[in-house]
Structure 1
Amino acid sequence: MSEQTIAVKAKQVEEIVEKMNNASSMVVVDYRGLTVEEVTDLRNQLRENGVSMSVLKNKLLQRAADKVGLEDLKDTFNGPTAVAFASDDAVAGPKVLHNFAKDHAALELKGGVIDGKVASVDEISKFATLPSREELLSTLANILQAPVRNVAYAVKAVADSKDDGDAA
């Protein structure tokens, strides 16, 4: 291999390392058997949820995994491999891929990383069923508003009862 080729591959490994370090979750999939339309649909769904998917060479992925300390993930890098990187919402990538795999048997989840820890397919599937960050924040906001809302209702009820008492 020429020095130029080695330099290009080293740069690619560094780019993958950066993606791995910035990802809150990462899912490795085998996409064999999906049509071009299905892959395009999957990429669009991922993009809408802030997730990027890349088809990468297994050797480059293995070298990057070594550099970031994810050696246990190297077993998933065989055959045609695509990796979905989610940086903002850790649940987004696993959720989209899990739901897409339910409807498209050709998409096979192989493993991944959630919050820096290697996760099995079962763990990714369980993680995918969790509510998204926005859903959790909405639920939290509703829980925090409930006591204030109840006090407001009580004050209004007292005010209404006093108004009724004055009218009589």
Structure 2
Amino acid sequence: MPKTRIQKETIVSELSDAFKKAASVAFADYRGLTVLQADEMRKKFRDANVDYRVAKKSLLTLAAKQAGYDLDAKQFNGMVGAAFGREDEIAPAKILGDMAKATEHITILGGIFEGQIVPQDKMIALSKLPSKQQLRGILVGTMYAPVSAFARVLNAIREAREASEVKLAGAPASEAKAEESAPADVPAAEAAVVEAPKAGADAAEAPADSAQENAMNETPTA
């Protein structure tokens, strides 16, 4: 059923507003997409905060001109859909590029990037770049890499310190054993050394006493 003039004006107004607010726009031919594929694509667009619109080429052209872009959508082949990226400039082309890898029924036609109308080859090149979310993940990983390395170093130092403490804690026990055995041996040796001279002294004193006794018992002769 043909759209009325009021309906067309409403569509053009909405599309013009989308062009003005978009960080980037990607145009694609979506002929042949299955219902499931179309639903999957729309879900990916919603998750990335991308507004996807399908409209007649004449209405897209008029809306783009109202937004300040000298675009002729009639140059595009097939059925044209427009993906308006609100936050991530790469997301519209990235999602369409990923879908194009999975199915031959999506073809990137061109787009608008950094306020300029961009040809097909440039948009295809943009579709191969990482998305803003992927770039954030790479940046976070780069930022935390030195921190994780530092943490590994600290952990290695802690483990080395603990091993050293365990070694030091075991040393007094072995030294105590050595000290326990030493007192038992040393007095025995000292006793042997002390007793030996005592026995000798007794032996030396015995002859002296016998000689003195004999001298006392002797009777002087006249």
Name the TM-score, length of structure 2 as normaliser.
0.62
Once residues 126 and 106 of structure 1 are traced to their aligned partners in structure 2, the CA distance between those partners, rounded to angstroms, is: 19
**Partner of 1:82: helix, strand, or coil?**
strand
The two structures, once aligned, show a CA RMSD in angstroms of: 2.6
Once residues 139 and 58 of structure 1 are traced to their aligned partners in structure 2, the CA distance between those partners, rounded to angstroms, is: 39
Stretches of structure 1 lacking an aligned partner (at least 5 in a row): none
Stretches of structure 2 lacking an aligned partner (at least 5 in a row): 168-222
Between Structure 1 and Structure 2, whose CA radius of gyration is higher? Answer: 2
Aligned residues of 1:31 and 1:106 also touching (Cα < 8 A): yes
Aligned residues of 1:28 and 1:109 also touching (Cα < 8 A): yes
Corresponding residue of 2:79: 80
Corresponding residue of 2:98: 99
Name the TM-score, length of structure 1 as normaliser.
0.79
Decide whether aligned partners of structure 1 residues 44 and 163 sit closer, same or farther in structure 2, where only a CA change above 3 A counts.
closer
Corresponding residue of 2:144: 145
Shift of 1:141: 1.0
Corresponding residue of 2:164: 165
Aligned residues of 1:76 and 1:111 also touching (Cα < 8 A): no
Worse-superposed segment, 120-129 or 28-37: 28-37
Structure 2 residue identity aligned to 1:90: E
Structure 1 residue identity aligned to 2:57: N
Corresponding residue of 1:47: 46
Once residues 133 and 107 of structure 2 are traced to their aligned partners in structure 1, the CA distance between those partners, rounded to angstroms, is: 27
Shift of 1:112: 0.7
Structure 2 residue identity aligned to 1:156: N
Corresponding residue of 2:123: 124
Decide whether aligned partners of structure 1 residues 166 and 129 sit closer, same or farther in structure 2, where only a CA change above 3 A counts.
same
Which has more helix, going by share of residues?
2
Once residues 51 and 14 of structure 1 are traced to their aligned partners in structure 2, the CA distance between those partners, rounded to angstroms, is: 18
**Partner of 1:70: helix, strand, or coil?**
coil
Aligned residues of 1:53 and 1:84 also touching (Cα < 8 A): yes
Shift of 1:19: 0.5
